[in-house]
Structures are given as structure tokens and as C-alpha cells.
Amino acid sequence: METETNGRWVEIARTWHDTAVTNCALCGRLVPRRIWLVEIDGAVLPFCNEECEGLYRSYWLPKYGQPETRHNVKSPSPGLTGEGLG
């Protein structure tokens, strides 16, 4: 089941002493340099790659629902370069 994606790769810009981390919204993998940002139902979510986004859309959303219904959802980490999606 192939779905059209509206995501894009974004470089994470951090200083050498920044301790912030960015994790994939699905698998939790630490993403050090480039993040795949996708807007899903009004929420911008960071993924480590397009495959995690696909699994999120095909498995996570149907099983657990939209991000607004879950607890402890964090916004993308600071340091992401670029303006919103679009």
C-alpha cells in the first residue's frame, strides 16, 4: 500500500556543545545529522527515514490513532534548519 508523502529531509544544525537529541517518532532511533520531517494531521513528526514514516502510516496510525490522542508527544528538537513543510 503506497501513499504519497509530503516529507522532506532537513539538516539538524547544532553547536558542538549542544546536548539536545532528536529521535525518530516511530522507532526511537537517535538521528544525529539529517531528519525526515513529515506533517501528519497537523503535527510535524521527525522520522529517521521514509520507511519509518511508511510503517507509521500503515501500522501505528490505524492501531493507535493520531498523535494528538497520545500522551507525552514532543515537538521536533530545536536546531532543525528550514521553515515548516510546504
- Taking only the tens place, the pLDDT of each residue in 15-62 is 989 999 999 999 999 999 999 999 998 899 999 999 999 999 999 999
The rounded distance, in Å, linking the Cα atoms of 33 and 73 is 21
CB distance 42 to 66 below 8 Å: no
The rounded distance, in Å, linking the Cα atoms of 8 and 13 is 16
Within 8 A by CB and 6+ apart from 72, the residues are none
Residue 79 falls within a domain, yes or no?
Answer: no
pLDDT at position 66: 74
pLDDT at position 72: 45
Residue 3 falls within a domain, yes or no?
Answer: no
Residue 26 falls within a domain, yes or no?
Answer: yes
Residue 74 falls within a domain, yes or no?
Answer: no
pLDDT at position 6: 84
Residue 33 falls within a domain, yes or no?
Answer: yes
Mean pLDDT of the 56-74 span: 73
Question: If you write DSSP's letter for every residue of 44-69 in order, what string do you get?
Answer: EEEESSHHHHHHIIIIIHHHH--GGG
Q: For residue 43, what are the domain limits? A: 8-68
